[in-house]
Copies of this chain bind each other. A is one copy, B any other.
Amino acid sequence: MDAQASYLAELVQHGLLIPTGVDGLYGRSGVFEDVVDRFNTVITGVGGKDGAEVMRFPPAINRQHFEESEYLKSFPQLAGTVHSFMGNERDHMALLDTLEKKGDWTTGQKATQVVMTPAACYPIYPTMAKRGPLPKEGRLVDVYSYCFRHEPSLDPARMQLFRMREYVRLGTPDQVMEFRQLWLDRGQKLMASLKVPLKIDVANDPFFGRAGKMLAVNQRDQNLKFELLIPITSEEKPTACLSFNYHQDHFGHLFGIQQQDGSWAHTACVGFGLERIALALFRKHGLDVKQWPAAVREKLWP
């Protein structure tokens, strides 16, 4: 934790991150943002020729779709619902009065129809379901958005709001497994070209509670999730910067995405954690991008 807090302090001191007073919520400097944008362009350089459909969603999704996604079963602690004031003028006066008296005015807020996006790919499943059965070749989608996870932390690599770029494959088990293997290879090659140390490992999501422990074990036993890990503030516990997930027919079943033969579509995704990758690059190559190795600079600023 000390290494994390001290890297955070260093990033703030160099102006790359701008503190807001909330752990895990930071502004980014122009330089930090440029690294994120450049790396995002590099991803497109690798995946852009595959013919993915580009979709860009705002950082919140339809609450009904969120409920259908079963995210609340697995990660209730991470989700963020968006609430608003829906009262009349009298309610408004009461709200301001509570605020004035330093009381908790938030208890009067009512849930809106939107929930913070938990992962960039969530909005595409209901979108794809509406189109009817998948074509024989399946589908490939390119998404990118800010995501929210309520886990305040001093670890700069664990932000509450961060960006995730994903390619998502929908199709037969063979199609999606082939896609995942392709990106396992591409991801390693790409990150190696940026001269950061990396390893691939099987992983699990942070499922909630005791029941969640079982889900985590199952996920690992079935090799459903791999992560590309890069040391940021610890060699022993490197940080997941890319993840390669096979959802089986979880989303296909929940949202009703069918294959040609009427069976549920399988899905897989590769996700890039943009802030984490930027933090890994700053950690490895230094806080001054002008001093980064020539090979890395050529890759990002060609």
Contacts and interface: CB of A to CB of B under 8 A. Distances in A.
Contact of A21 (B83, B126, B159, B161): B126
Interface string A54-67: 11111111111101
A238 to B, nearest CB: 24
Contacts of A60: 25, 148, 160-161
B72 A54 contact: no
B55 A18 contact: yes
Copies of this protein in the assembly total 2
Nearest to A130: B19
Contacts of A79: 84-85
A284 interface: no
A161 to B, nearest CB: 4
A211 B83 CA distance: 24
Contact of A146 (B25, B61, B85, B146): B146
Interface string A93-128: 001100100001111011111101000000100110
Interface string A67-105: 100001100111111111111010010011001000011
A253 interface: no
A193 to B, nearest CB: 25
A208 B88 CA distance: 9
A59 B62 CA distance: 17
B83 A80 contact: yes
Interface stretch (A28-36, A198-206, A214-222): A28-36
A81 B28 CA distance: 22
A80 to B, nearest CB: 4
Give 7 closest A-B pairs by Cβ, nearest first.
Answer: A30-B54, A106-B111, A58-B161, A76-B85, A84-B150, A80-B82, A89-B209
Given A25-B60, A77-B84, 17 more contacts: A20-B126, A25-B58, A27-B123, A30-B53, A58-B59, A58-B159, A72-B96, A76-B95, A78-B84, A79-B85, A80-B84, A80-B112, A81-B82, A81-B106, A82-B148, A83-B109, A84-B150
